[in-house]
Structure 1
Amino acid sequence: MADSELPTRPKPETNEAAAPAAEGAESKSASKNALKKAAKDKAKAEKAAARAAQEKAQAAAQDANDTAKDLYGPIPETEDVIPTTRFSEFSDDSYEKEVTVVARVDNARVQSAKLAFLMLRQQGQKVQAVIAAAEPISRQMIKYTGGLNVNSIVQVTGIVKKPEVPISSATLSHLELHIRKVYMISEAAQQLPMQVKDAERPPPETTDEGAQVDAEGAPIVTLKTRLDNRVLDLQTETSQAITQISSGVAELFTEYMIKSGSRWIFTPKLVGAATEGGSNVFEVKYFKRSGYLAQSPQLYKQMCIAGDMESVFEVAPVFRAEDSNTHRHLTEFVGLDFEKTFHAHYHEVLDFAEDLLVFILTQLKERYGAQIANIQKSYPKAGDFKLPKDGKALRLNYMDGLALLKEAGVDMSEQERFENDFTTAMEKQLGQIIRDKYDTDFYVLDKFPMSVRPFYTKADPKDPRFSNSYDFFMRGEEIMSGAQRIHNIDELEASMRSKGLDPTQEGFEDYLNAFRQGCPPHAGGGLGLNRIVMFFLGLPNVRLASLFPRDPQRLRP
């Protein structure tokens, strides 16, 4: 049979009709699933809404039953001024009286459903507060109070009571506050970078910044951590006291200077040329040219004397671009500077400066005894600074100090050749020798070699190898450098040339012109406030005596 005669097979059916049918089935299934999911989600949402409504109703019911609901929580908005009491104002007359205080939460704990404790802190001082369930105080209020975040600022109203047993953990151990109201003013975060209570212990002497604990396993906060979190560190009782002492030094210096008839001046901290210390200055961009941060007000003080002011002083920042990472060096510190005219001899000014320092140190002990005692808990040397018993500073010549060190076996050959000043180690050793021999931590060295003093220092007319200059020391470390200044223009320019300086150098013109117009004999000095605080209190590091210290490694906070 020919191919053409073979019976034809039916062609397979195509899926053109089946495909739409399958797609429709899938679509119906997806739609069904979506409806089921929507129904499920709706049921879930309804259950959540019902649960929320139930919880809200329960909360409302609890609030309705909370007899103390208006006595705690966020501070109510009011225009009324509520008188508050400071911890320092508490006295025996405060017992059984209602007071309101604003303080930080140093610690909070729930003792039971009916009892909670707060330790309140105000500028380092601590007072215990207690809250107990008794009409109208509720359990909800107790739970809230015991759960307050540490370091939060709260307003607490309560009755001052005398505890049966003094509270050893509180600064004011002889009283406690029985809470009637507690309101949140500013809530602290739950996690703090360090605890204030841990920063109340002295930082370790080692420079190891790793995790450290004391004998009882409590964290020891390193100096770096404390300075990185300085705001928290400042809240400790010790830091509060140190800042009060710092304020006291500036206040006493100013008080003495003003009473002496001296004039308070304010000199520029931006200068156009590095005129005092060569490369040890900070250069800053000043519009289209360079400027510098002033190393001291020295030249301006002298210009004021040439301007017939007779006696001037300043309290201001001083900048030193010295890469010194020691315990006593900062790149920015507070300078206490003064300059005075004299009639016959520069010792008139030296006498004045000695009396000034004795006044400051004596008055610190008299006016800040409580603060010194608080600091002494952390730094035992704070209370043992020895002042001259006769009220007069011990004054020795440079060569006297050299002889004492040589007698103690120290190699002083370089100092005898006037090639170098005393090293820090020599200064400390001399300080200990003088403390043992003369029973004082404050003394003065006069007549330093001319080779180690600045160009504006007056040479000793009797022996030009030496100068009419002096340094003040506390605990064997320098706190002030001063001298008689050259007031004759020819002598001043000659001294500059001998030190390798060019009188025609930019920046000296205005200064030198002041002496060309006539200037009276004068002397003065510059004190470091931070060092005075450090050595008076026996602190191990000057950074502890600086509010926000700056050194070669630190430019924050």
Structure 2
Amino acid sequence: MAEQDKAVADLAEQVEQVVLGEDGKPLSKKALKKLEKEQEKKRRQEERLAREAAERAAREAAEPDVAVGMYGRAPLNMSQTRTDTVWTEVKDLSEAMVGQTVNVQARIQDSRLTGGRMCFLVLREHAATVQALVQADDVAVSRKMVRFADSVPAESIVSVTAEVVRPVETVKSCTVGSVELRVSKLFVTSEVVRQLPFSIEDASRSEEDCEANPALARVALDTRLDGRVVDLRTTPNNAIFKLQHAVCQLFREYLVRQGATEIHSPKIISTASEGGSNVFQITYFKRHAYLAQSPQLYKQACIAADFGKVFEIAPVFRAEDSNTYRHMTEYVGLDLECAFREHYHEVMYMIGEMFVYIFRGLEERWAHELAAVRRQYPSEPLKFDDKPLRLEYKDAVALLRGAGVEIGDFDDLSTPQERLLGELVRKEHGTDFFMLDKFPLAVRPFYTMPDPTDGNYSNSYDFFLRGQEIMSGAQRIHDPALLKERIRAFGIDAAPLEDYIRAFEYACPPHAGGGVGLERVVMFYLGIPNIRLASLFPRDPKRVDP
């Protein structure tokens, strides 16, 4: 038995000594000897490199650090002190400041170590970026400081003191490219201590870049939204929400100039605000209540209360199980309601002019942000006229039929039909923005005023942007008898609407208005592919976090 074990062991040793070549055949003794020499050479080289690195590290550790006190991790800011330090924002850096020393607080978006004596940083504050250089000079900046700068995790916040200098050539990768910062002090104010869900660079790429180079990483929509705090840091996203703010600002500016009053209506209500079933029911103490589908009834109450013109910017809740690119369960509504003297077109055209004011203002006052978004989401500038185009619903039906679409006289428009209509209008009238008037009465809410000449239609309108609806509105019924008739026609229980009806029994002026979806305006204006990208923290049937 012992002899058999020895024979097996000898055979195993022989097998281990067999080395196969690339062709799968055993190497000759000569080739094997050559291979062993190469492996030994490689081992000695690795040992030498490791020894040299250790010696270099030891020398550097023994070197006096000329930058002691000029870099490191700052103490936790608990508002211990307040100084007279003057801080400069990255976006404000310019050639006029060359030679000046500035203090900047920003995130490290990227770092690159070069030769052990230089570290290039990309500093980002909000949507602005600038290149900074930490360079060892053995006088004020040490190699230890350079290595420290490179070791700070991306997206950490640092405070730097630096001289503004002209770069050798314009830094095209930064929004501020005509200058760079030569850093003399660098302290970490807040350090990243958890792995980022994705890189800012990956999240900032356009679809065109990814298609041109399939090796580039794509960040999926759900991944973005799960890590929304990081996603919102990208320059395009930062710009999207500055533009969203701009739409609200311009909306408010225009209406205030028209003499409108901003109101704030309740969002917890006792009954479905428009008589529909797509409402969120909530527990309200010992009974049920609902989240408002719109401020519609309260806007009209304010008109009955002689406010004249009112508007509101507030959340709207819709319990619709719609999982599309343009629907959410919570969005921001820009609502308005106005009394008029003779005809609802007084209000409709005012709203049209309001949109023109918004579009013009975005182009003239937020051009920088528009450019930042279009780098990631390319789109053509919006085509629109100073006087908005008005079409009647009958015209739309005729255009669609002329393009081969089968549609009834009183059918509501589907999303594909809306898009096609937008293309037809752009081709025929040269505009991406138009008003569609006189919708069929059957597809509008109970409070919509019927057309006085044809009861099949109504005094209602939608506004379209790039072929998709961004606002729905109408003249409202202000006569209580007609209102009750329409409520009965819809089969709605009038009891919960008693307060609403009573407002008109006290006499109410004729009025009209509408509701705008803020995220839709931003989405379609910018050509963004999904409404969730235009919502800060979107809510839909599948998402209630973060």
**TM-score category of the 2 structures, normalised to the smaller one:** 0.7 to 0.9
**2:113–2:150 CA contact under 8 A, matched in 1:** yes
Aligned to 2:402: 407
**2:94–2:178 CA contact under 8 A, matched in 1:** no
- Asked if residue 106 in structure 1 is aligned to residue 143 in structure 2, the reply is no
Aligned mates of 2:493, 2:208 — CA distance in 1: 48
Deviation at 1:203, TM superposition (A): 6.3
- Asked if residue 155 in structure 1 is aligned to residue 159 in structure 2, the reply is yes
Question: After superposition, where does 1:25-104 map in structure 2 within 5 Å?
Answer: 65-75=64-74, 78-104=81-107
Deviation at 1:79, TM superposition (A): 3.1
452-461 vs 131-140, which moves further: 131-140
Deviation at 1:318, TM superposition (A): 0.4
Aligned mates of 1:167, 1:349 — CA distance in 2: 50
Deviation at 1:216, TM superposition (A): 5.5
Aligned mates of 1:202, 1:550 — CA distance in 2: 24
Aligned to 2:183: 179
Letter in 2 for 1:366: E
**2:129–2:174 CA contact under 8 A, matched in 1:** yes
Unaligned runs of 5+ in 2: 1-56
Q: 1:480 aligns with which of 471, 475, 481?
A: 471
Deviation at 1:98, TM superposition (A): 0.7
Deviation at 1:91, TM superposition (A): 1.9
Per-residue CA distance 1:418-443 (angstroms, 9 max, x = gap) = 2x301000000000000111111000
Deviation at 1:66, TM superposition (A): 1.4
Deviation at 1:308, TM superposition (A): 1.1
Aligned to 2:255: 257
**2:106–2:123 CA contact under 8 A, matched in 1:** yes
Letter in 1 for 2:498: E
**2:400–2:421 CA contact under 8 A, matched in 1:** yes
TM-score norm. by structure 1 comes to: 0.84
Aligned to 1:501: 492
Aligned to 1:266: 264
Aligned to 1:24: none
Aligned mates of 2:349, 2:169 — CA distance in 1: 54
Per-residue CA distance 1:294-338 (angstroms, 9 max, x = gap) = 000000000111111111100000000111111111111110111
Letter in 2 for 1:444: M
Per-residue CA distance 1:63-96 (angstroms, 9 max, x = gap) = 9921111100122675313211111211221111
**2:94–2:179 CA contact under 8 A, matched in 1:** no
1:63–1:344 Cα change, 3 Å = farther
Deviation at 1:518, TM superposition (A): 1.0
Aligned length: 484
Question: After superposition, where does 1:430-449 map in structure 2 within 5 Å?
Answer: 430-449=421-440
Aligned to 1:237: 235
Deviation at 1:113, TM superposition (A): 2.4
Per-residue CA distance 1:483-542 (angstroms, 9 max, x = gap) = 0000010000001111111222x2x11111111111111111111111110111011111
Partner-residue secondary structure (3-state), 1:492:
helix
Q: 1:538 aligns with which of 518, 527, 530?
A: 527
Letter in 2 for 1:158: A
- Asked if residue 200 in structure 1 is aligned to residue 189 in structure 2, the reply is no
Question: After superposition, where does 1:514-525 map in structure 2 within 5 Å?
Answer: 514-525=503-514
Aligned to 1:122: 125
TM-score norm. by structure 2 comes to: 0.86
**2:522–2:534 CA contact under 8 A, matched in 1:** yes
Aligned to 2:454: 463
**2:95–2:179 CA contact under 8 A, matched in 1:** no
1:231–1:203 Cα change, 3 Å = farther
Partner-residue secondary structure (3-state), 2:102:
strand
Letter in 2 for 1:98: T
**1:125–1:171 CA contact under 8 A, matched in 2:** yes
**1:203–1:223 CA contact under 8 A, matched in 2:** no
Aligned mates of 1:518, 1:462 — CA distance in 2: 24
1:277–1:194 Cα change, 3 Å = farther
Aligned mates of 1:342, 1:171 — CA distance in 2: 48
Letter in 2 for 1:400: D
Deviation at 1:550, TM superposition (A): 0.7
Aligned to 2:416: 425
Partner-residue secondary structure (3-state), 1:65:
coil
- Asked if residue 304 in structure 1 is aligned to residue 315 in structure 2, the reply is no
Aligned to 1:34: none
- Asked if residue 385 in structure 1 is aligned to residue 382 in structure 2, the reply is yes
Partner-residue secondary structure (3-state), 1:239:
helix
Aligned mates of 2:545, 2:375 — CA distance in 1: 28
Question: After superposition, where does 1:311-326 map in structure 2 within 5 Å?
Answer: 311-326=309-324
Aligned mates of 1:121, 1:465 — CA distance in 2: 58
Q: 1:142 aligns with which of 137, 142, 146?
A: 146
Aligned mates of 1:311, 1:145 — CA distance in 2: 57
**1:87–1:122 CA contact under 8 A, matched in 2:** yes
Aligned mates of 1:244, 1:63 — CA distance in 2: 50
Aligned to 2:213: 215
Aligned to 1:395: 390
Letter in 2 for 1:384: P
Aligned mates of 2:428, 2:211 — CA distance in 1: 40
Percentage identity across paired residues of the two chains: 47
Letter in 1 for 2:479: N
Aligned to 1:367: 365
Aligned to 1:330: 328
